[in-house]
Chains A and B, each alone.
Chain A
Amino acid sequence: MRMEAEKMRKGRLFNIQRFSVHDGPGIRTTLFFKGCNLRCRWCHNPESYLPEPQIQYFAEKCVGCGECMAVCGQGIRIENGSRVGTERCILCRSCEDACMSGALKFAGEEYTAGELVEVALRDRDYYASSGGGVTASGGEPLLQYHFVRELFAALKEAGISTALDTAGNVEPGRFREVLPFTDLVLLDLKIMDEELHKKYTGVSNRRILENARMLMELGQRMQIRVPVIAGVNDTMENARALRNFIGDYGCVEEVRFLPYHDMGLTKADSVNVKMERFAPPSQERLEKIRELFADRNRKVK
C-alpha cells in the first residue's frame, strides 16, 4: 500500500517554463514549485509564497466583463482592481474558465513525476545539444523534497540532467535525499549578514550557510546566485563576506549576480501581497562586485 501511495505522489507547481536559459546551463525546462519559507521583500515570484493553490488576478489584463462574477458561487467580486472575498474561494476554477482575457489564472497545478518527465522529454534533444536539462525552482522545491527526489530519480533514469534551484533554508537531511539525483545546485546566498538577512527575508541565514558549507565540503557542483538590490546587499562588504565564504572551493563553478527587477510587483498584486519597490544596483557597482570574484578560476556573471 505504501508503494502505491508513493507512486501517486504529486508535486504542486505554479508554472512550467520551457526554453529557460538563465536557470542553469543550456536550454532547460524550469519547474516552479509552490510554497516558500522565505519572504524576501523583493521577491519576483510572490505567487510561490503559499503552498496551497490559489487564483491569481491580473488587473491590467481584466476587461471588466463580469463573467467571473456571474459564475462564482461564492460571491467573490472584482472591485477597484482587486478580488474581494477571496477567503471564501473554494478553488472550483469556474471563474478562470469563464475569463477570456487571461486575467484569472490558477496557480498550483499538481503533477505526478511521470507527467513532468513526459513534459521534460519533449525537449530532450534541445537539452542534449545545449548541455541543458531540468531545473527545479520555486518557491522552495525542497519543501516538497520527497517529490523532488522521486522526480529527479526518474529524470536521471531518462538520461536528463537535473539542477536544484534552492534558497537552502531546510534541514540538511532534505539535501541529502535529493543530492544523489542532482547534477547541479543553484544556491541563493542573498545576504551574508545574519541580522540583515532576517530583516529582508524574514529568516536567519544560519542554516542556509551551514547547508552551503556542507554542499561545498561534499564537493557538490554549484552555482551561487545573488539577487543584487540597491541599498540592501549591493555593498562591497557583503561581496567580500561572500567571497571569503566561498573561498577556494572548486565545486562552486559559477557565481552569478542578478540585478533586481520589478517584474514581481504585478504578480504580487495578483495574489494580494503587498510588495515594496526596490532599485537595481548601479552598473558600476555590479561590475565592481563581479571584479572581486574574478581572481578565481570560476565563471562570474
Chain B
Amino acid sequence: MVREMSPSLRARVEKWLDRDYRETFMERIQYLFEAEKLYEKEGYSVRYGHTLEHILKNITVVLGEGPIAGEVRMRIPTKEEEQEILAVYKGWWDIPTEERQKQILFYFSEGWLKCRPPYFVSFGHLAMDWETILNSGIGGLRERAARRLEALLQDESCGAHMAENGKSDRENQIEFLRGAVICYDAISLYIRRMAEEAKRQGRDTQAADLAQITEGPAETFAQALQLLWILTLILQKVCGCGVLNFSRMDQYLLNRYQADVKKGILTEDEAVELLQEFYFHNNEIMVQTDHMSQEIETTRYTLEVAYDDPNYLILAGKLSDGSTGVNELSFLMVEAARALRLRNPFLVVRYHEGISEKFWSYCCDAMRENTTLVFYNDETMIPALKYWGAEEPEVYDYGFYGCNDPIISGLEGGLRQVWVNLMKPLELALHQGNYPLEPLDEKIVEETEAGAPLDQECQFDIDDRMTGLMTGPYYGVKTKAPEEMTSMEDFLEAYRQQMIYLMAEFRRGFEQDFAVERTVSLDRIRIEDCFLQGTIEQGVTWTEGGTKYHKIVTQGSGLATAIDALYAIEQICFVKKEMTVAQLAELLRKDYAGEEKLSLRWKNKLKKFGNDIDEVDKYAKIVTDIFVQAVEENNGGQYLYQMWPTYSTDRDFTTMGGFVGATPDGRRAGEQLSENQSPTNGRDLSGLTAMLNSVSKVPFDRITGGPLNLRLHPSAVEGDDGLAVMSALFRTYMKKGGMQLQVNVVDAKTLKEAQITPEKYRSLCVRVTGYSAFFVEMGRKAQDELIARTEHLV
C-alpha cells in the first residue's frame, strides 16, 4: 500500500515539473553583491558570517503552502540582469588557475564555481552531524562556539604557535569561531523571521514550531523535519553547500516519531505527508537540468548555487550492536518516496544479513516503479571502511553523498577526489612509460622512483589536479621492455609499477597543493564547519583537520576495460602466442592501422568480463589487488588525507576514454572506457546472473563505494512472481559479495519514444550514475548512453 500525495502537493509537483529553467533566486544574488562590498574589510570568516547574515536578514520570507515552511522567491531575470550578473561572476573567476587554487583551494570545477564569490564558497558533498543539530538546536550549537571563543579570548597564552598563513593558531581560531557565531545567529534570525510571518498569517501551530527551533532543540517529529528543511534551504540555496547526505534518518528520527504517535499528536498518515513534503522541498530548490551534460542549454544557463545533484538519505543497515536498523520509519520513508517518484532524495537502503524479507521486498517493489532507491551492502562496506581506517561505532553510521562517495557522517568534511584511470597504467606498461597518443621521441621518461622528494614538481597539470581527472598526457616510469616480457607476470609487474607510480604522483601533487592551501585557509570558515563534529570544538576548519576523518575519494575507473585488456594480453601474447608483447604494443601505438580486422576480432571474439568466465574474471581480483596496493603505498600517518578506493566513473568514462590509446581488448584509441562497475557495453551476453556472478568476484571488502547500473526489461519483473524474483536476485547478489545495485526498469523502446515525444515522458526518472535525472532533461549523449546499456531480458 502506498499513500498518495495530498491534492495540494500533487498540484505543486505538477506545477514544478513545468517550471521555467531560467527561474532564479534573484534575492540571493542581489544581497550577496551588496554584502561583498559592505564587509570587504573584515577578516575572511567574519566577512563570510556577515554575508550570510545580510542575505538571511533581507530575503523575503516565503512560508509556502505545505505543512513544512520554507521557500524562496524565484523569478526569471531580464536579459539585462542576466548580463550584469554574468559579468560579476566572470570577474570573480577570470583568474589564473594558480590564483584560483589559492582563493578557493582545489577540487572545484568551473561549472560548480561560477555562481559564488571566492570568499563565500562551500562545496557541500558531506553529511552534517544531524543528530546533534536536532538535539542541541541552533542556540545550543552557538553556545558551544561562543564558549570556545570566550575561552580563547580570555587566555592569551594559548596557541602561540605560528601557522603556515603567518598568523598564530590562536588568531586563526578566534577568526574562525567569530565567523561561526555570526553564522548561527544569522540562521536563528531567519527562523525567527519565519516564525513571525507564520504568526502574522495566523498559522499558530507552525509559528509555535518555528519559535521553538529558532534556538531550541527540535522536540517533535514535525519540528525535526522543519529544522532539517530550513537548514537544507540555507545550506544549499544560499551557501551552495550541495549534495548533502541526510544520513540515517530512520534512526535519528525514530524516538520523536514514536513519542509523538504515543502522545497522539502524530498519525502515520501525517508522518508520511510530512516526509513527502520534506522530499518535495528537496526537489523544489534544485536547478532543472542535468549537470553531467555540460553541453545543454539548461546546464550552461544556471545562475544558481543549488545544482541538480540529489541529497542522499540512508535507511536500514546494521546498528553498532549488530541488530537490524529496519523499523517502522524505514517503511514510511520508502513509502513517501514511492508516491513522489522524483529524483530527490536518493534513498540508499543498506542490506545486511538477515534484513527483514518484508522490507527488502518492499524496497524492490519501489525500485520496480523506478523510485530513486539503491542498495548497498553492509557486509562488504563495513569491512572495507574498517580496512581503510574507519572505527567503531561510527563506521555503522556510514553513508554516501552523490555520486556514490562514502562518508562517515558528521565526522568528515566535503569532497576531495581523484579519478584513477585504470587504463593509464596499463597503457604505460605496454609502452615503457610512454604515452602513445602524444609520444615523446627521446626516452625522456627516465626511471623515477616512487616516493621521490616532495619538492619535485608533480607531472599532473594543475587543472587536472583541481578537478581530479587525469586528462593530460601522462608518462610513467621505465618498466621492463615489451621485448623482454616472457610471461603474464612480467606484464602485471609492469602494470603494478606504473599504477603505484601514478598514484604516488597524484599524492605528490595533492601534498603540494595542500601546502599551498594551508598558507591561506587556516582561518577560513565554510558553513558546514558549523555543523560537524570536531571543527568548533577545536576551532579548526574541516579542510585543515578539524574533523576526525579526512579522505580523498579515489575512483578506480574503467574496471571492465582493464580486466578485458589484461585477459586479451594473456591470450594473445602468452597463451595463443599470436604475437609478442612488443608487436602488440606497436600495433596499439598505431591504433590498429592496417589491422582493423584484428580490432574487430578481439572486440568480438575474445572472452569478456561479465559472462561468469573464471579465466577472465580472475583479473577482477588482480586489478583490484594492484589498485588497492597502489593506494595503500601512498597512504600513511604522515598524511592528513587518506585515499579510499571506490569503483566509480560518474559519467566521465567517455572523457577518460578520450585520453587512452588503442587497447588489446579491441578498443580503438579514444573510445569510451567501461562505465562504473559494469562490463564493457554490450559484452555481457550470458544472462543477468552470469553478469552479477562476474561482478561479485571483485573483492569488494576493500572497495568503499561506487555503483553497478542494471537496466531491466519491465517484463522480467512483472507481477507478484516478478517481484519475488527481483527480491531473490538482489538478495543473492548481496549474499555473494556484491556491493551496490541500482536499477532502471524501462525498455529501450520506451526511452527512444521519450526522445521523440519528451512531453509525454516528463516525469520519467532514471538512475544515471550517482544521481537520478529526468530522462527528457538529460543531454542527448547521456540519453544515448543509457539506451545503449545492456537490457536484461528473460
Q: Which of A124-132, A160-168, A172-180 contacts B (4 or more CB under 8 A)?
A: A124-132
Q: CA A67 – CA B736 in complex, angstroms?
A: 42
Q: CA A25 – CA B724 in complex, angstroms?
A: 10
Residues of A near B452 (CB, < 8 A) are none
Residue A243 CB within 8 A of the other chain: no
Least distance between A60 CB and chain B CB atoms (Å): 16
Residue B686 CB within 8 A of the other chain: yes
Residue B716 CB within 8 A of the other chain: yes
Q: Which of B686, B722, B731, B736 contacts A18 (CB 8 A)?
A: B686
Among A25, A67, A123, which residue has the most Cβ atoms of chain B within 10 A? A123
Given A102-B604, A122-B693, A130-B724: A22 and B794 within 8 A (CB)? Answer: yes
Residues of B near A101 (CB, < 8 A) are 604
Residue of A whose beta carbon sits closest to that of B690 = A18
Residue A50 CB within 8 A of the other chain: no
Residue A84 CB within 8 A of the other chain: no
Residues of B near A249 (CB, < 8 A) are none
Residue B729 CB within 8 A of the other chain: yes
Residues of A near B605 (CB, < 8 A) are 97, 100
Residue A26 CB within 8 A of the other chain: yes
Residues of B near A130 (CB, < 8 A) are 724-725, 728-729, 732
Q: Beta-carbon contacts of B692-730 to A below 8 Å, as 1s and 0s? A: 010000000000000000000000100101101100110
Least distance between A260 CB and chain B CB atoms (Å): 15
Residues of A near B731 (CB, < 8 A) are 129
Q: Which of B603, B686, B732, B794 contacts A21 (CB 8 A)?
A: B794
Interface contact B729-A122, CB-CB below 8 Å? no
Residue of A whose beta carbon sits closest to that of B612 = A122
Residue A19 CB within 8 A of the other chain: yes
Given A19-B792, A26-B728: A126 and B604 within 8 A (CB)? Answer: no
Q: CA A100 – CA B689 in complex, angstroms?
A: 25
Number of interface residues of B (CB under 8 A): 27
Least distance between B365 CB and chain A CB atoms (Å): 16
Interface contact B794-A20, CB-CB below 8 Å? yes
Q: CA A191 – CA B530 in complex, angstroms?
A: 75
Q: Which of A21, A123, A125 contacts B722 (CB 8 A)?
A: A21
Q: CA A27 – CA B693 in complex, angstroms?
A: 14
Q: Which of B721, B724, B794 contacts A19 (CB 8 A)?
A: B794
Residue of B whose beta carbon sits closest to that of A129 = B728
Residues of A near B792 (CB, < 8 A) are 19
Residue A17 CB within 8 A of the other chain: yes
Q: Which of A18, A21, A122 contacts B725 (CB 8 A)?
A: A21
Least distance between A91 CB and chain B CB atoms (Å): 19
Residue B480 CB within 8 A of the other chain: no
Residue B601 CB within 8 A of the other chain: yes
Interface contact B690-A122, CB-CB below 8 Å? yes
Q: CA A123 – CA B725 in complex, angstroms?
A: 13
Interface contact B724-A125, CB-CB below 8 Å? no
- Taking residues whose C-beta sits less than 8 angstroms from the other chain, chain A's interface range is 20 to 34
Residue B102 CB within 8 A of the other chain: no
Q: Beta-carbon contacts of B591-605 to A below 8 Å, as 1s and 0s? A: 000000100110111
Least distance between A221 CB and chain B CB atoms (Å): 17
Residues of B near A21 (CB, < 8 A) are 716, 721-722, 725, 794
Interface contact A100-B600, CB-CB below 8 Å? yes
Interface contact A129-B732, CB-CB below 8 Å? yes
Q: Considering the complex, which residues of chain A in the window 47-95 have a beta carbon less than 8 Å from any beta carbon of chain B?
A: 67
Least distance between B763 CB and chain A CB atoms (Å): 26
Residues of A near B735 (CB, < 8 A) are 125, 129
Given A126-B729, A130-B729: A18 and B604 within 8 A (CB)? Answer: no
Among A21, A122, A129, A301, which residue has the most Cβ atoms of chain B within 10 A? A21
Least distance between B707 CB and chain A CB atoms (Å): 20
Q: CA A131 – CA B719 in complex, angstroms?
A: 16
Residue B688 CB within 8 A of the other chain: yes
Least distance between B716 CB and chain A CB atoms (Å): 6
Interface contact A126-B794, CB-CB below 8 Å? no
Residue of B whose beta carbon sits closest to that of A67 = B597
Least distance between B642 CB and chain A CB atoms (Å): 35
Residues of A near B636 (CB, < 8 A) are none
Least distance between B682 CB and chain A CB atoms (Å): 10
Q: CA A101 – CA B792 in complex, angstroms?
A: 20
Q: Beta-carbon contacts of A231-275 to B below 8 Å, as 1s and 0s? A: 000000000000000000000000000000000000000000000
Residue of B whose beta carbon sits closest to that of A128 = B732
Residues of B near A18 (CB, < 8 A) are 612, 686-690
Among B603, B716, B732, which residue has the most Cβ atoms of chain A within 10 A? B732
Residues of B near A25 (CB, < 8 A) are 721
Q: Beta-carbon contacts of A9-51 to B below 8 Å, as 1s and 0s? A: 0000000011111100111000000000000000000000000
Residues of B near A129 (CB, < 8 A) are 728-729, 731-732, 735
Interface contact B604-A123, CB-CB below 8 Å? no
Given A100-B604, A122-B612, A125-B735: A19 and B688 within 8 A (CB)? Answer: yes
Residue of A whose beta carbon sits closest to that of B601 = A100
Among B603, B686, B689, B732, which residue has the most Cβ atoms of chain A within 10 A? B689
Residue of B whose beta carbon sits closest to that of A299 = B721
Q: CA A100 – CA B601 in complex, angstroms?
A: 6
Q: CA A123 – CA B686 in complex, angstroms?
A: 12
Least distance between A274 CB and chain B CB atoms (Å): 27
Interface contact A122-B689, CB-CB below 8 Å? yes
Report B's interface with A, CB cutoff 8 A.
597, 600-601, 603-605, 612, 686-690, 693, 716, 719, 721-722, 724-725, 728-729, 731-732, 735-736, 792, 794
What are 20 inter-chain pairs, A to B, with CB distance below 8 A?
A18-B688, A18-B690, A19-B690, A19-B729, A20-B687, A22-B794, A26-B724, A27-B689, A27-B728, A100-B597, A100-B600, A102-B604, A122-B612, A125-B732, A125-B736, A126-B728, A130-B724, A130-B729, A131-B724, A301-B719
Report A's interface with B, CB cutoff 8 A.
17-22, 25-27, 67, 97, 100-102, 122-123, 125-126, 128-131, 301
Closest A-B pairs by Cβ, 4 of them: A18-B687, A130-B728, A129-B728, A19-B688
Known: A102-B604, A130-B728. 7 other contacts (CB 8 A): A26-B725, A26-B728, A100-B601, A123-B693, A125-B735, A126-B689, A301-B719
